[in-house]
Amino acid sequence: MGVQQSETDTGTEEAAASGEESGGTGSATAALVAAVLGFFVITLDVSGVNVALPAVGRDLGGSLSGLQWVADSYTLMFAALMLSAGALSDAVGARRAYGWGLGLFVLASLACGAAPTLGALTAARVVQGSAAAVMVPASLALIRQAFPDPQARARGIALWTVGGAVAIAAGPVLGGLLTTEWNWRAVFFLNVPAGLASVLMLTRAGRSPRHPAVFDLPGQLTAVLALASLTFAVIEGGHDGFTGTVLVSIGLAVVAGSCFVAVEARRRMPMLPLELFRLRGVSVPVVAGFALNAAFYGGVFVLSLFFQEQRGQSAFSAGLMFVPMAAVTANFNYLSPRLVARYGPRAVVVAGLLTGASGSGSLIAVDTGTPPWVTALLMIPLGIGGSLAMPALTSLMLDSVAAERAGTAAALLNTSRQMGGALSIAVFGALLAGNFATGMRESLLITTCLLLANALGATALLPRK
C-alpha cells in the first residue's frame, strides 16, 4: 500500500501490491499496528462491559433485560451494519473508512462514559457498535493491502486476531479492575487513549486504493430490521413470554429476512453477493465463526453474572477468574498460522472447535460449590479453542475471495460472529431469568452442541491439506 498511490486508484491487485511495496516496511507495520489497536478496543467493549453490567444496573437502575440491551445494542449494530461497512471500505479506501469509524468510536465511548441514564447509555452503545462495524472490515482490508504475500498476510492476520482474543479474554480483568477501583464509566474512557494511539499509527500508513462498490440501502434496511426484530423477540420473549408484541417481532424478522434475500438476489451489485456462500472457504468460516462467538461472548456474559450474583464476588475478583484463559489465548492465536502451514486449515479448525466444546462442556458441572481455581482452569480450553480456530478461519475466508472482495468478505465473517455474540446473550439471558443454575447449564450445553456440530461440518466440508 504505497504513499504515492492515488486515493482514487482502482487498478489491479498487482498495481496495489506494487504500491504497497513502495510504501515500505514502516507503512505496512503502521497499518498493522493501527488495525490491531482498533480491533483490541472494539472487542474489549464486549467482554469488559459484560463484567461491569451489575455495577451499571446498581448505578443507573434497570432490569436484566435492560442490561442485556446495553450489551446487545452494541453487538446488534456491529453485526447489522457490517456488510454495508465492507462496501464502504472497498469504495472509499480502507484507511479512510477506518479513520472515520475510529473517530466516531472514540466520541461514542466518551458519551457512554458520561451517560446519565440506562437509555442514554444504550443509545451511545448503538453509535459505538455502528462505528465498530466500519472499523473491522476496514482493518482487515488494511492488512490485506499492506501484506500482498500470503505468508506475511497470515502472520498479520494472526496478530490482528491476537488483539481481539486478548481483549475478549483480558477484558473481564480490566473491566473488573476499573469497575472496582474507580467506576464502570472508566471501562469506556479507556477507549480514548487507545483510540488516539491507533489514529497516530494510521497517519503513518500508506493510502488505500478504491474499488467499485455501491451502497445497498434496501438490503441494509431489511438486514437491520430482521436482526433487530429477532434480537428483540428473543430478549423480551424470554422475560415476558410470547406476547403479541413478541409474536409480531418474530413475524417481522421472518418477513424482513426474506426480503433481504430477495433484494440481494436481484441487485446487480449487492452488499452481500449470495454466490459467496457457494464457496466452502466462505460458508464454513461464516457458520463456525457464529458458533465460536456464541460460545465466547455468551460464556463471558453468563460466567460474569455467575461469579458476581451467585458467588458474591466483586467485579475485580470476577475478572481475575478469566486470567488463566487470558494468559494462554494470545500464544495459541500466534501458533495457529504455523499449525495451518503444517497441517492445513481443516485440522486446525476442527481441533479448535473440539477444544472449545470440551471447555464449554466441562463448565456445565460448575456450581457455587466448585472451587474458584477449578472453574478458572476449566475455562482455559474455551479460550484455546477460539484462539486456534479463528485465525485459520479468517485466513481461509480471505484466501477464498479476490482482493477486491476483501472488505466484503471480512464484513460477512464478522457479521456472523457478532450475531453469534448478540443472539447468545439474548438467549442465555432469557434462560438465566428463571432458575439461574439451570439456565447456566442449559446455556453451556447449547454452546457445546453448537461447537461439536461445527466440528463435524468442518471435517466433512473442508478439504484435507
Are 343 and 241 part of one and the same domain? no
Q: What is the dihedral of CA 343, 454, 424, 175, to 10 degrees?
A: -10
In a domain, 3, yes or no: no
Longest CA–CA span in the chain (Å) reads: 63
What's the average model confidence in pLDDT over 48-59? 83
What's the average model confidence in pLDDT over 47-63? 80
- Greatest mean pLDDT range, 192-201, 238-247, 399-408, 441-450: 441-450
In a domain, 122, yes or no: yes
Q: Residue 153: name the closest of 141, 144, 165 by CA.
A: 144
Give how many domains the chain has, as a whole number.
2
Are 109 and 160 part of one and the same domain? yes
What's the average model confidence in pLDDT over 100-109? 91
Q: Which of 255, 270, 285 is the last residue of a domain?
A: 270
Q: Under a CB-based contact definition with an 8 Å cutoff, are residues 444 and 298 in contact?
A: no
Q: At how many degrees (to 10) do helices 94-113 and 82-92 cross?
A: 130
Are 243 and 315 part of one and the same domain? no
Are 139 and 246 part of one and the same domain? no
Lowest-pLDDT range, 213-217, 444-448, 458-462?
Answer: 213-217
Q: Residue 41 is placed in which grid cell?
A: 478496543
pLDDT of 288 reads 93
In a domain, 48, yes or no: yes
In a domain, 262, yes or no: yes
What's the average model confidence in pLDDT over 379-389? 88
Interval 257-272: pLDDT, tens: 899 888 888 877 777 7
In a domain, 4, yes or no: no
Are 118 and 69 part of one and the same domain? yes
For the entire predicted model, the pTM comes to: 0.72
CATH classification of the domain holding 41 = 1.20.1250.20
Task: Give 180's pLDDT tier (boundaries 50, 70, 90).
Answer: confident
Q: Which of 227, 247, 270 is the last residue of a domain?
A: 270
Q: What percent of the chain has pLDDT over 70?
A: 86
- In the predicted structure, residue 14 carries a pLDDT above the cut 70: no
Task: Give 21's pLDDT tier (boundaries 50, 70, 90).
Answer: very low
Task: Give 238's pLDDT tier (boundaries 50, 70, 90).
Answer: low
DSSP string, 171-191: HHHHHHHHHHHT-THHHHHTH
What's the average model confidence in pLDDT over 229-252? 76
Lowest-pLDDT range, 49-53, 59-63, 369-373?
Answer: 59-63
Q: Under a CB-based contact definition with an 8 Å cutoff, are residues 296 and 422 in contact?
A: no
| Sign (positive or negative) of CA dihedral 303, 308, 313, 315 | positive
Are 137 and 160 part of one and the same domain? yes
- In the predicted structure, residue 455 carries a pLDDT above the cut 90: yes
In a domain, 309, yes or no: yes
Are 169 and 253 part of one and the same domain? no
DSSP string, 16-71: HHHHHHHHHHHHHHHHHHHHHHHHHHHHHHHHHHHHHHHHHHHHH---HHHHHHHH
Are 281 and 234 part of one and the same domain? no
Are 262 and 158 part of one and the same domain? no
In a domain, 189, yes or no: yes
- In the predicted structure, residue 7 carries a pLDDT above the cut 70: no
Are 151 and 43 part of one and the same domain? yes
Domain that holds residue 227: 216-270
R_g over Cα of the chain: 21
Are 413 and 266 part of one and the same domain? no
Average pLDDT, the chain: 80
Are 157 and 73 part of one and the same domain? yes
Q: Which of 270, 290, 306 is the last residue of a domain?
A: 270
In a domain, 371, yes or no: yes
